[in-house]
Amino acid sequence: MAAPLRFNVMHFMPYSYLPENHKEFKSTWVSFPNKYFDPEKGHELYNRYIGELVLADQLGYDAVVVNEHHNTVYSMMATPNIIASSLVAQTKNVRICVWGTPPNFMLPNRLAEEYAVLDVMSKGRIEVAFPLGTGMEYWSNPVNPATAREKFRESLKIILQAWSEDGPTTHYGNHYTYRFLNPWPRPYQRPHPPCYIVGTGSPETIEIAAELGFGYASVFVTQARAKELNEQLRERASHYGHTIRPDQLPLLTFVYVAETQEQAEKEYIPHLQRFFEDYARTIPQYLAPPGYLSVDQLKLRAATADKMHGGFDFKAISQSFFISVGTPDKVANDIGDWTVRMKTNHINSVMHVADMPHWKTVKNLTLFAEQVMPRLRQQAGAPQRMAAE
Amino acid sequence: MSKFERQTLTVDGVKTVVHTAGHGEPLVFFHGAGTVDGFDFAERWTDRFRVIAPYHPGFGESGDDPTFTTMHDYVMHYLELFDMLKLDRFNLVGLSMGGYLAAKFASEHGHRVKKLTLIAPAGLIDPKNPMLDILAVPGEAVPGLLVSDFEVLKKKLPEKPDLDFMGERYREATTVARLFWEHPGDPKFMRYLHRIRVPTQIIWGEEDKIIPAGQAETWRRFIPNADIKVYKGAGHLVHLERPEAVDAVARFMS
């Protein structure tokens, strides 16, 4: 019998009022002038977006997911734990995933404390993913990208030690010294909330997840690459004596459900196009600050970027990534196939993109919850489904 | 065909490539934070000096050592290398970041240095003449900032940067980031500069877009007797643009 499916709603909470002249800027990250942020509109958006995640709780989703980015219209969640705190207060059942704050941008004890506070407040509903942080974040935060990976490792060690061992303990490392590592409170979940690493597939990061027995959430990689990464994680984790469960491999999907295929495409594609072209717009320099990648990874990614050059092509992009747009049947079929192919039962869906209006988001959330989730849960109940491959 | 002979050594575990040419007193050249300019310009010194041009760890043909995170690591590396090469006392020339390193070496180990030349040296925190934060400049914009006349540099660059060229520049930028990302300037460096007591020459291109030539006068505060030469019509890579600047180094060192 296959494990039950799990459905997350992931929100980027973008600042969706791009100025008319925004195309003049090569990047909407890092250097995009913050004079274009209007707090009045920001106020409206925060309330609206948090409301959408509260609705997800009421509609029966299993989890809501927030994340952290800086200096960008792509996401207004510079401080995701503050958003999570609001969600703790306004939701009843959903698990709240902070996927997450890059440990390099916060003192490790402080991050362990914040997650523990949320976990205790929510009675154990918190899940955590640790990102190294995109290249862009290293232009926006005063942290050296060339030593980021070793600092990341050390931070994780401190956080896990703070959560798992009775304090006070000590830590003497290259980046941090703790004479009394003894954070109050401790997390509600013992020894700690479920942990993942989230990233774009650097071998160095996969290795950390494998070593720690964490889940790995790959984001913005192609379908083929995501499958490779899942396999790599399973293989490397077994090397360290860990068995990766299907729920440790959250699958990032972009979905939009409507009454007909035509209507779904008409309602969704313009927003998806703006997501890729405008909200995710950045430059190679920002993507890869010096030392953020190994030289081999840089060359590999530069070669791939060259191949992917060209305008937005919905068909190509939806075959490349896990994007499903259409009727409840179509979306359920796509996701059903993906879960089998990717050997996961954990579906992490982005249901709002770019400047999608509230009504479409509510419609999407509702149709997916009422018509897609039951279909998939019913299918997953049939044991031959997971064994089919 | 280059006059330089190439020698590969292992210095404290790090592959270190040293180019050597010429006869006479030893003259060590420290390159800057990039290596596209090469060592050919230094052939003008080889009739009077034995020129020793090493690649720093993390640059050019030398290997990487990710534990090098401060300029002090490079000073220690060179103490080791100079011992291996049996170089007791020598003339020292440093360009840009190599000038920073040469000045640091001379302030700490002055008895090893006979004469010192700093070409557009980095290292000063000079709010009135601030150095360009080169780490914040997109890679493709860097070559244009290095020289006054781009034709001089153009022949040293590939027509269209390929992946290997990009990779090599990224590697060197990574080395620079390890040293300077969080702290582009080190106040302690200036704190001890007055200990440079050997004859010192400072050379600058007047149109330097990376480190303003105005910094030459700031150096004079630390090294009052420095012989300062500023060349018109030259940028940061004054040694490529003005052969007479290269000749001035040889004259000063002789």
User: Rounded CA gap, B134 and B119, in Å?
Assistant: 17
What H or E segment, with its residue span, contains residue A294?
none
To the question of pTM greater than 0.90 for the whole model, the response is yes
pLDDT number for residue A310: 63
When the pLDDT of each residue in chain B is averaged and rounded to a whole number, the result is 96
Q: Estimate to the nearest angstrom the gap between the alpha carbon of A188 and the chain centroid.
A: 23
Measured at the CA of B167, the angle between CA B170 and CA B53, to 5 degrees, comes to 75
Q: What is the mean pLDDT of residues A5-25?
A: 97
Q: What is the mean pLDDT of residues A4-16?
A: 97
- Cis amide prior to B243 (ω within 30 degrees): no
pLDDT number for residue A309: 58
Q: What is the mean pLDDT of residues A42-48?
A: 98
- In the numeric block, the tokens 């849960």 are attached to A377
Tokens coding A313: 């092509």
Q: What is the mean pLDDT of residues A95-115?
A: 97
The beta-carbon neighbor of A144 closest among B136, B173, B181 is B181
pLDDT number for residue A240: 97
User: Rounded CA gap, B124 and B12, in Å?
Assistant: 29
Angle (deg, nearest 10), helices B71-84 and B97-108:
70
- In the numeric block, the tokens 């609705």 are attached to A55
Above 50 in pLDDT, residue B63? Answer: yes
Nearest CA-CA partner of A378 in A333, A322, A327: A333
- Which residues in chain A are contacts of B162 at CB distance < 8 A? none
B92, B122 Cβ separation under 8 angstroms: no
The beta-carbon neighbor of A299 closest among B69, B167, B181 is B167
Q: What is the mean pLDDT of residues A234-246?
A: 96
Above 80 in pLDDT, residue A380? Answer: no
pLDDT digits 0-9 by tens, A59-77: 999 999 999 999 999 999 9
pLDDT number for residue A220: 85
> A103, exposed or middle or buried, with CB in 10 Å at 0-12, 13-18, 19+?
buried
- In the numeric block, the tokens 């293989």 are attached to A235
Instruction: Please state, for a pLDDT cut of 90, what percent of chain A lies above it.
Output: 89
Task: List, as one string, the DSSP characters of A353-376.
Answer: -TT--HHHHHHHHHHIIIIIHHHH
pLDDT number for residue A59: 98
Q: What phi, psi does A306 have (nearest 5°)? A: -60, -45
Above 70 in pLDDT, residue A1? Answer: no
Q: What is the mean pLDDT of residues B138-145?
A: 92
Tokens coding A15: 């600042």
- Which residues in chain A are contacts of B171 at CB distance < 8 A? 295
pLDDT number for residue A305: 75
Tell if the CB–CB gap between A291 and B182 is shorter than 8 Å. no
| pLDDT confidence tier of residue A384, bands split at 50, 70 and 90 | very low
Measured at the CA of B63, the angle between CA B57 and CA B68, to 5 degrees, comes to 40
Above 80 in pLDDT, residue A389? Answer: no
Nearest CA-CA partner of B245 in B139, B140, B117: B117
| pLDDT confidence tier of residue A379, bands split at 50, 70 and 90 | confident
B245, B231 Cβ separation under 8 angstroms: yes
pLDDT number for residue A386: 42
Length of chain A measured in residues: 389
Q: How many CB pairs under 8 A join A and B?
A: 50
Task: List, as one string, the DSSP characters of B16-29.
Answer: EEEEEE-SSEEEEE
Q: By CA distance, what is A142's nearest residue in B?
A: B182
Tell if the CB–CB gap between B174 and A143 is shorter than 8 Å. no
Instruction: Please state, for a pLDDT cut of 90, what percent of chain B lies above it.
Output: 93
Identify the contact set of chain B against chain A, taking CB-CB distances under 8 A.
69, 135-136, 138-139, 163-164, 166-168, 170-171, 173-174, 176-178, 181-182
Q: By CA distance, what is B171's nearest residue in A?
A: A295
Above 80 in pLDDT, residue A2? Answer: no
pLDDT number for residue A304: 79
Above 70 in pLDDT, residue B111? Answer: yes
Above 70 in pLDDT, residue A307? Answer: no
pLDDT number for residue A306: 64
The beta-carbon neighbor of A295 closest among B69, B139, B170 is B170
Q: What is the mean pLDDT of residues B191-218?
A: 97
User: Rounded CA gap, A215 and A206, in Å?
Assistant: 9
Task: List, as one string, the DSSP characters of A76-97.
Answer: S-SSHHHHHHHHHHH-SS-EEE
Q: Point out which residues pair with B116 in neighbouring strands.
A: B92, B200
Above 90 in pLDDT, residue A89? Answer: yes
pLDDT number for residue A302: 86
The beta-carbon neighbor of B167 closest among A144, A146, A295 is A295
Nearest CA-CA partner of A306 in A314, A298, A317: A298
When the pLDDT of each residue in chain A is averaged and rounded to a whole number, the result is 94
- In the numeric block, the tokens 């259409």 are attached to A326
Q: First CA to last CA across chain B, in angstroms?
A: 26
Q: What is the mean pLDDT of residues A204-231?
A: 93
Tell if the CB–CB gap between B182 and A142 is shorter than 8 Å. yes
- Which residues in chain B are contacts of A293 at CB distance < 8 A? 170
Q: What is the mean pLDDT of residues B192-201?
A: 97
Nearest CA-CA partner of A336 in A344, A142, A199: A344
pLDDT digits 0-9 by tens, B69-90: 999 999 999 999 999 999 999 9
pLDDT digits 0-9 by tens, B41-62: 999 999 999 999 999 999 999 9
User: Rounded CA gap, A221 and B206, in Å?
Assistant: 48
